[in-house]
Amino acid sequence: MKELFKKLDVGDKIELTINNKKEVGILLESHEPGILLLKLENGYNIGLKKEDISKIKILEKKKKDNKENKEEREFKMSGQKPIIDFYLTGGTISSKLDPKTGAVKWLINSKELFNIYPEIFQIADIRVKSPFMKASENMDSSDWIKIAKLVGKSLNDKNVKGVIISHGTDFLHYTASALSFMLGKLNKPVVLTYSQRSSDRGSSDSRLNLVCAAYTALSDIAKVLVVGHANINDEYCYVLQGNKCRKMHSSRRDAFRPINCRPIAKIFPDGKIELIRNDFNKRYKEKGKIKVDAVFDNKIALVKFYPGQDPNILEHYLKKGYKGIVVEMSGLGHVLSQGKNNWIHKLKKVIKKGLFVYAAPQTIYGRLDPYVYSPGRKLQEIGVVFLNDILSETAFVKLGWVLGHKIWRGSVATKMKMLENINGEFNEKLGKEFLE
C-alpha cells in the first residue's frame, strides 16, 4: 500500500475503499503525513486516515501541463459577434478549483474565463475586465461607485451591446440596488449573475446562469437585472429586477426570488426569452449617453427592530454623526410603543435633532400601512417616513445615494426623493401573484 501511495499525484482521480465503502474524488494536497485529502464528486472535501484505506484504484492520472496535452485553449475575439463587457468582481462564479488545496482561487482574465466557460464565447465576443476581486460580504459603497463608473463607460461605448457582472451571492442585491440608482435610465442591459456552487461540481449552476446572462445582455431589457436559476433544475433562468429581489436561500441554486413583483422574463439556454412583464425600458429608448450618478453617503444605518429593544441605539447613531437611518419595522410598520423602552418618544427626540428616519418592512412580502393602527399614525405624525413595499436593503442603499447629493439633504428634499419611485423600487399595486 505504501508503494501505491507514492504513485499518487495531486490532481489524480482515484477510488478508495474504506470498510467496504468506496469513495471517488480528486486527490488534494495534504500537510498531514497520515491523512489523505480528497475532493468528492459532490464538491465537498474529506480527510481520510491512510491506515483505514484497504484499496486504492487510480481512475485517471492528472494531465501534465505541457504543450502536447495541455487542455487550455487560447481565447481570440472573433470580430463578428456582438460585444459584451464582462466585469469579474468576485464570488464563486468568478473562481476556479485549485487542485492542490481543494479551495478556489479567482479568475483573472479572458483566457481563464474562456477555458472554464467556453459556451458564452460562442454567443458573443466577451471583453473581460476585473476592477477587483472580492467576496461580496467584503464589498462596500466605494466598490459600488467603482463598478458604476466602469459600467457607465461600457454603456456609452457604441460597440458594446450589454454588460455582465459576476458577483458573490450574499450581498448581490445591495450592488444591484445601488447600480439601479447610480446608472438611472439605461440604454442597454446590465446583468448581474452568480453561482451557488463552483464550476468543478457536477451540480454547478454557473454555466446555465452565465449562458442565460449572456443572452439577457443582448436582449432589449434595458435595466439593472439579476439572472439565475428559476428552480432547482437546469431548465431556464429568471430575469429579475435588480432592486426588487433578494437572496432567499443560503445554498439552493434558485436562491434569488422576486419580491412583491413577478420576474421580468424567463430565459432559456438556447436564447429564447418569454416575457412575463413589459414595464421596463427598452434598448436604445434613452437616446444619447447615460449619465452616471455615482455618489453615496456612508453616514446611514439599517436598524432591525426586535422585541424589547432599547431605543437608545438611536441616540448612538445621532452622536456618531449619522444623517439618516432605515428602521426595519414589524408588521404594517410597528415598533415598541409602551413602557420604558417606548420607541416613539425616542424617535421624536432624534428626529427633532435632525436625524432622518425611514420605515421599511421587516416582512419579506407586502407593504407598510401607518393608517391601520394608532401607533403607526403616531409614528407618521412625529416625522417617520413610511417607504411602502420597498425592500429594507434597497431602502438603505437608496438613502445613502440620496444623501450623497448635497442639494437633497434638507428634510423636505430628502423625503421627496426617498418617496419618489426613481427606478421601480416601489410597486403601485400588489396582486396575488407576488407570492408565486
Cite the active site residues.
92, 169-170, 247
Please list, in sequence order, all residues whose beta carbon lies within 8 angstroms of the beta carbon of residue 76, skipping any fewer than 6 positions away.
none
Pairing of strands 190-193, 224-229: parallel
306: its cell numbers: 426586535
Angle ∠(249,255,258) on CA atoms, nearest 5? 110
Rounded CA-CA distance 225/129 in Å is 19
Backbone phi and psi for residue 433, each to the nearest 5 degrees, phi listed first: -75, -10
Please list, in sequence order, all residues whose beta carbon lies within 8 angstroms of the beta carbon of residue 405, skipping any fewer than 6 positions away.
295, 417
Contact in structure between 169 and 196 (CB atoms under 8 Å):
yes
Q: Smallest Cα–Cα separation from 187: which of 44, 90, 117, 291?
A: 291
Please list, in sequence order, all residues whose beta carbon lies within 8 angstroms of the beta carbon of residue 233, skipping any fewer than 6 positions away.
none
Rounded CA-CA distance 432/436 in Å is 8
Rounded CA-CA distance 227/231 in Å is 12
